[in-house]
């Protein structure tokens, strides 16, 4: 029997409100997978048990990418009249209460360019089942609330696939006729099918042993292609750190004897937490000082931690349905952020996380694709792996910790594990656990899960007639798609009063309003649209230090004067508030410049210039924080607050400010640059990393001065590490050919040299593509078109596509928003080309085209036309279609 689907179903909207528990449970599944590049055969044996007496038939999800080759109930083939097959799966009628279902399917992994289900990456078989990839391997009720025990037998060519891996423990292996062999893997923990994984290929392995705190040894294996294995040491060391950290901080131990990680080059996302068999994008595994920047090293550590932490928050306790995605993702991002903060600098990590929120999540939350942390409907769940679900979700967890206190939060985490281990649960279950642990009512706080949009806070200070200091906080939240009116949020506002005079010993007291004095300041609680907090004993000249540590993901507006901002930027002991004060000076200066106020004559500009001179002439105590303070906010971030935006005009204004800052402090910058460049050492200590960060930043200023190309060339030639080399290459890529001043400092020379050196390292070649896509040069768009034709460019590799097109559309606004709309056209065309190859990757390119409402009218039209063009394409995927349609609304 071989049958192909006949009936086609339309793209449906799935709603949270329609959730129903599964009609059948599948406590066990056994899979026999005989691997072949074009004809892989899968025999699935499912133990099915009726849960809902009213469920007459069992529905199994499937896909048009596999062929049904056999179907039997309790060993007897099922007659065609007893089941319905369509493109999305099959329904089997009149089944008994408890039965064994056997399903044979045939797949073509080599033809799978979508990289979900079973596919090949450089000859290695691998799987990606989250969110709905398992249905491309066999017919199955593909939903996270069905937990099964897996028994998996893999058969493959011994020569091509010496390594055979799946989840759990390997319980058997042996030879087969015809040059084949097999391995059987058994996972002792029930799991949803999205955590199933298989890998088979010719891989090398780096191994270590970890002993858990209760004394159980765990074998750690990191598999990669032979030419990559030398760059895996940092990832493995990071894994051990993550395992120890989770024990120390959350008391969570690893639960199996083996932990495998496999690195593959073709992967739609960063990595995947499959139970005991994580599959990673090489980008988040490989790291060596010659080929990876300091940021790459940090990212590897963070993502290794993230996937490891999922073992408890995601795998042992999973999601009831995909609307609850943030239950595992928000919480696990929060956990990986804490891990990275403990491994490096907490203050700098916070700034990085704030930057990511502001450049990606805030625009998402104010645009047509805005959705709540717990969405209430979707067409394609893959479109909801967003910064809102992940990063805003992590902020929601952090706010809960602020509100109930760290101790109660830790107790809440322990209670969550105790209550829900082995279950598929909801965000509501998590909040209820925290409520119970903290003894707090979080009813209003739950709105963070249900309401989309970034709240705005407007904070004003005054003195009342009795001499008390009053802080008035007004909160609002703009309308978002489907949510025209918002209820006020319950949120923590951490603040303090900074005396102007360091010897001032007065101790302000909160005398009215909900809040408490903590070590880091006053934790004020906002609940109403307008809140008043009254303080006694605040010195008249004290400066309010607001939103310390970015205690809530909001947009803050205050009446703090430029003078106070300058003071905060110099003296606050909270890194975020210092940074934010400097960013505000920068933002105001750029906006003034956009309205033709010369940098040196506007008040903000003068304050900014003075602040830069102050920083550069003093001793630079903290190199990494100084680098942050000397950076201007990005164009996307500034542009987000501008109506009828002309991004090119904004770009020019920001460039003018940067040039003025460089010229104004030319000598100081040159001196500091030379000093820090010469202090660079190639090691990975946090001090060495901070010095590299500051020298790179200083280079970006001196590169703007006369003779700047010389500095760039010199920086490149002296580089020991990829961080230094990239700092130079980024600058080189901005310099037009005719402006390079020889001596090997010319753009083309450096780019060619870089390409030749790293030709064999695809991740480094991604950087080569990305710096060019990010270039400020006037001919960048033409160069991107040429890059698309470059022999090393391919639309089949997600990292390569993102290196050029995500960079160009998200990190190069001036080029993307070229006045004639050609940037939009190029992106639309690329989306249409990528879509038939890999809809998930294509869909991830759509968001920048949805920002048209923010733009001036001509660009609005051009951007909408690009979206319309995509929509008019006949065979557009449901992934892309959902986002384009929403973007046009």
Closest separation in Å from C-beta 311 to Zn ion: 11
Whether 673 contacts 702, CB under 8 Å: yes
Partner from Zn ion, ligand 0A1, none binding residue 269, C-beta < 5-8 Å depending on class: ligand 0A1
Q: Provide the token pair at 569.
A: 């930027």
Task: Answer whether 109's CB lies under 8 Å from 156's CB.
Answer: no
Cβ at position 39, least distance to ligand 0A1 in Å = 25
The site for ligand 0A1, by CB under 6 A, has a size of 15
Residue 769's binding partner out of ligand 0A1, Zn ion, none, with CB under 5 to 8 Å set by partner kind: none
Closer residue to Zn ion (CB): 265 or 332: 332
Smaller CB distance to ligand 0A1: residue 130 or 435? 130
User: 339 to 398, contacts with ligand 0A1 by CB under 6 A?
Assistant: 382, 385
Rounded to 5 degrees, what are φ and ψ at 147?
Answer: -105, 130
CB of 133 to ligand 0A1, least distance (A): 7
CB under 6 A: which stretch of 271-279, 596-604, 683-691, 830-838 binds ligand 0A1?
271-279
| 570, two tokens | 């110099």
d(CA 428, CA 447): 11
Strand pairing partners for 89?
A: 61, 86
User: 369 touches which of Zn ion, ligand 0A1, none (CB within 5 to 8 A by kind)?
Assistant: none
Beta strands 509-512 and 66-73 are unpaired
Choose, by CB under 6 A, the member of 155, 273, 580, 882 that binds ligand 0A1. 273
Annotated catalytic residue, options 116, 132, 155, 307: 307
Task: Enumerate residues 442-471 that contact ligand 0A1 by CB under 6 A.
Answer: none
Stretch that binds ligand 0A1, among 136-144, 200-208, 240-248, 263-271 (CB under 6 A): 263-271
Binding residue (CB under 6 A) for ligand 0A1 from 88, 130, 353, 592? 130
Rounded least distance, CB 732 to ligand 0A1, Å: 34
Question: Among Zn ion, ligand 0A1, none, what does residue 128 contact (CB within 5–8 Å per kind)?
Answer: ligand 0A1
Which of 278/551 has CB closer to Zn ion? Answer: 278
Q: Is 650 helix (H, G, I), strand (E, B) or coil?
A: helix
Q: Count the neighbouring beta carbons within 10 Å of the beta carbon of residue 181.
A: 17
Half-sphere exposure of 24 (CA within 13 A, CB side): 27
* DSSP output for 726-749: HHHHHHHHHS-GGG--STT-SHHH
Residues 66-105 that bind ligand 0A1 (CB under 6 A): none
Q: How far is the CB of 100 from ligand 0A1 (least distance, A)?
A: 30
SS (H, E, C) 8-49: CCCCCCEEHHHCCCCCEEEEEEEEEEECCCCCEEEEEEEEEE
Residue 265 or 313: the one with the smaller Cβ distance to Zn ion is 313
- CB of 386 vs ligand 0A1, minimal distance in Å: 11
If one asks whether residue 338 binds ligand 0A1 (CB under 6 A), the answer comes out as no
Residue environment code for 535-555, b if the CB has 16+ CB neighbours within 10 A, otherwise e: beebbeebbbbbbbbbbbbbb
At a CB cut-off of 8 Å and minimum separation 6, what does 90 contact? Answer: 59, 60, 62, 68, 71, 83, 84, 139
CA angle 228, 232, 233 (to 5 degrees): 145
Least Å from the CB of residue 306 to Zn ion: 5
382 binds, among Zn ion, ligand 0A1, none (CB under 5 to 8 A by kind): ligand 0A1
272 binds, options ligand 0A1, Zn ion, none, Cβ within 5 to 8 A by partner type: ligand 0A1
Could you tell me the two tokens for 79? 């007659």
Residue 306 or residue 420: which is nearer to ligand 0A1 going by CB?
306
| 222 φ, ψ (degrees, to nearest 5) | -115, 115
Binding mask of the shown chain, residues 804 to 843, with x at each position contacting ligand 0A1 by CB under 6 A: ------------------------------------x---
833 noted as active-site residue: no
Structure tokens at 889: 């609304």
Residue ranges in contact with Zn ion by CB under 5 A:
329, 332
Q: Please name which of 130, 62, 127 lies closest in space to residue 92, comparing C-alpha atoms.
A: 62
In contact, 560 and 535? CB cutoff 8 Å: no
Spatial strand order of the sheet with 521-526 comes to: 515-518, 521-526, 491-498, 543-545
Q: Which residue, judged by CB position, is nearest to ligand 0A1 in the bound state?
A: 269
- Select the residue interacting with ligand 0A1 from 233, 270, 405, 634 (CB under 6 A): 270
Residue 271 CB, shortest distance to Zn ion, in Å, is: 8
Instruction: Find the shortest distance in angstroms from Cβ 128 to ligand 0A1.
Output: 5
Residue 170 contacts residue 129 (beta carbons within 8 Å):
no
* Among 329, 338, 496, 835, contact with ligand 0A1 (rule: CB under 6 A): 329
Parallel, antiparallel, or unpaired: how do β-strands 89-92 and 58-61 relate?
antiparallel
Is residue 269 a contact residue for ligand 0A1 (CB under 6 A)? yes
Give how far the C-alpha of residue 732 lies from the chain's centroid of Cα atoms, to the nearest Å.
Answer: 28
Q: Which of 143, 306, 578, 654 binds ligand 0A1 (CB under 6 A)?
A: 306
Least CB distance to ligand 0A1 at residue 253 (A): 21
Q: Which does 287 bind (CB under 5 to 8 A by kind): Zn ion, ligand 0A1, none?
A: none
Q: Which one-letter DSSP state was computed for residue 281?
A: E
Using the contact rule CB under 6 A, the part of the chain among 268-276, 518-526, 533-541, 801-809 near ligand 0A1 is 268-276
For ligand 0A1, the closer of residues 398 and 578 by Cβ is: 398
Residue 89 in contact with residue 62, Cβ under 8 Å? yes
Q: Which one of 79-87, 101-109, 124-132, 208-216 is the stretch in contact with ligand 0A1 (CB under 6 A)?
A: 124-132
Q: Is 268 in the site for ligand 0A1 (CB under 6 A)?
A: yes
Which of residues 165, 271, 369, 870 is near ligand 0A1 by CB under 6 A?
Answer: 271
What SS3 class is residue 521? strand
Nearest to 701 by CA among 616, 599, 621, 583: 616
Residue 340 Cα distances to 80, 333, 350, 393, angstroms:
55, 10, 10, 17
Point out which residues bind ligand 0A1 (CB under 6 A): 128, 130-131, 268-273, 306-307, 329, 382, 385, 840
The catalytic residues are: 307
């Amino acid at each position: 029997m071989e049958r192909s689907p006949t009936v086609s179903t339309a793209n449906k909207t799935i709603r949270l409100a329609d959730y129903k528990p599964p009609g059948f449970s599948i406590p066990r599944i056994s899979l026999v997978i005989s691997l072949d590049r074009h004809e892989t055969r899968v025999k699935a044996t499912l133990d099915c048990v009726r849960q809902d007496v009213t469920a007459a038939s069992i529905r199994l999800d499937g896909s048009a990418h596999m062929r049904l080759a056999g179907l039997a109930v309790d060993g007897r083939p099922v007659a065609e009249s007893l089941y319905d097959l369509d493109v999305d799966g099959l329904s089997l009628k009149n089944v008994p209460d408890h039965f064994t279902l056997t399903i044979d399917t045939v797949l073509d992994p080599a033809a799978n360019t979508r990289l979900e289900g079973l596919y090949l990456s450089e000859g290695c078989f691998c799987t990606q089942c989250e969110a709905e990839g398992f249905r491309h391997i066999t017919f199955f009720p593909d939903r996270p609330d069905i937990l099964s025990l897996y028994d998996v037998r893999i058969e493959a060519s011994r020569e091509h696939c010496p390594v055979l891996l799946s989840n759990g423990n390997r319980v058997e292996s042996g030879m087969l006729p015809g040059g084949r062999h097999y391995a059987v893997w058994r996972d002792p923990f029930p799991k949803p099918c999205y955590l199933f994984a298989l890998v088979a290929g010719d891989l090398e392995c780096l191994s270590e042993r970890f002993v858990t705190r209760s004394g159980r040894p765990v074998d750690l294996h990191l598999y990669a292609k032979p030419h990559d294995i030398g760059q895996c040491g940092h990832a493995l060391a990071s894994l051990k750190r993550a395992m120890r950290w989770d024990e120390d901080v959350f008391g969570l131990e690893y639960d199996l004897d083996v932990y495998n990680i496999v690195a593959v080059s073709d992967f739609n996302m960063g990595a995947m937490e499959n139970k005991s068999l994580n599959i990673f994008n090489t980008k988040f595994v490989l790291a060596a000082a010659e080929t990876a920047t300091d940021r790459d090293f940090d990212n590897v550590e963070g993502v290794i931690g993230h996937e490891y932490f999922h073992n408890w928050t995601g795998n042992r306790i999973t999601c009831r349905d995909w609307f609850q995605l943030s239950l595992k993702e928000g919480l696990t991002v929060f956990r990986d952020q804490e891990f990275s903060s403990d491994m490096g600098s907490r203050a700098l990590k916070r700034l990085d996380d704030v930057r990511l929120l502001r450049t990606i999540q805030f625009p998402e939350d104010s645009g047509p694709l805005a959705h709540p942390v717990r969405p209430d409907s979707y067409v394609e769940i893959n479109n909801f792996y967003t910064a809102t679900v992940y990063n805003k979700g992590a902020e929601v967890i952090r706010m809960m910790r602020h509100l109930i206190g760290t101790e109660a939060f830790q107790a809440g985490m322990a209670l969550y594990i105790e209550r829900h281990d082995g279950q598929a649960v909801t965000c509501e279950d998590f909040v209820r656990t925290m409520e119970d642990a903290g003894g707090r009512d979080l009813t209003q706080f739950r709105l963070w899960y249900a309401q989309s949009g970034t709240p705005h806070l407007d904070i004003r200070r005054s003195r009342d007639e009795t001499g008390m200091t009053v802080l008035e906080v007004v909160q609002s939240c703009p309308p978002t798609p489907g949510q025209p009116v918002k209820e006020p949020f319950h949120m923590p506002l951490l603040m303090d009063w900074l005396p102007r005079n360091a010897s001032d010993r007065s101790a302000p007291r909160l005398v009215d309003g909900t809040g408490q004095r903590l070590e880091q300041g006053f934790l004020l609680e906002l609940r109403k649209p307008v809140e008043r907090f009254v303080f006694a004993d605040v010195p008249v000249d004290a400066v309010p230090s607001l939103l310390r540590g970015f205690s809530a993901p909001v947009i803050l507006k205050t009446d703090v004067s430029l003078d106070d901002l300058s003071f905060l930027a110099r003296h606050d002991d909270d890194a975020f508030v210092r940074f934010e004060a400097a960013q505000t000076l920068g933002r105001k200066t750029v906006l003034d410049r956009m309205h033709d106020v010369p940098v040196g004559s506007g008040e903000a500009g003068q304050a900014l210039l003075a602040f830069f001179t102050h920083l550069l002439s003093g001793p630079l105590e903290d190199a990494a924080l100084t680098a942050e303070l000397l950076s201007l906010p990005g164009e996307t971030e500034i542009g987000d607050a501008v109506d009828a935006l002309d991004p090119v005009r904004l770009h020019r204004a920001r460039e003018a400010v940067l040039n003025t800052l460089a010229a104004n402090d030319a000598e100081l910058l040159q001196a500091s640059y030379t000093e820090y460049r010469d202090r660079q050492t190639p090691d990975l200590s946090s001090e060495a990393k901070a010095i590299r960060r500051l020298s790179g930043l200083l280079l970006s200023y001196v590169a703007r001065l006369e003779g700047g190309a010389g500095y760039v060339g010199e920086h490149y030639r002296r580089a020991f590490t990829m961080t230094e080399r990239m700092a130079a290459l980024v600058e080189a890529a901005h310099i037009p050919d005719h402006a390079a001043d020889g001596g090997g400092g010319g753009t083309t020379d450096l780019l060619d040299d870089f390409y030749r050196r790293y030709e064999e390292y695809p991740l480094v070649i991604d950087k080569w593509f990305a710096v060019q896509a990010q270039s400020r040069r006037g001919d960048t768009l033409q160069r991107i078109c040429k890059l698309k034709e470059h022999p090393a460019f391919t639309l089949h590799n997600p990292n390569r596509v993102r290196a050029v097109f995500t960079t160009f559309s998200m990190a190069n606004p001036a080029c993307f928003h070229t006045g004639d709309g050609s940037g939009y056209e190029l992106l639309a065309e690329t989306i249409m080309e990528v879509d038939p190859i890999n809809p998930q990757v294509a869909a991830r390119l759509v968001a920048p085209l949805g920002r048209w409402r923010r733009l001036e009218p001509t660009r609005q039209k051009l951007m909408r036309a690009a979206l319309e063009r995509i929509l008019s394409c006949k065979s557009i995927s449901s992934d892309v279609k959902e986002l384009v349609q929403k973007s046009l609304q």
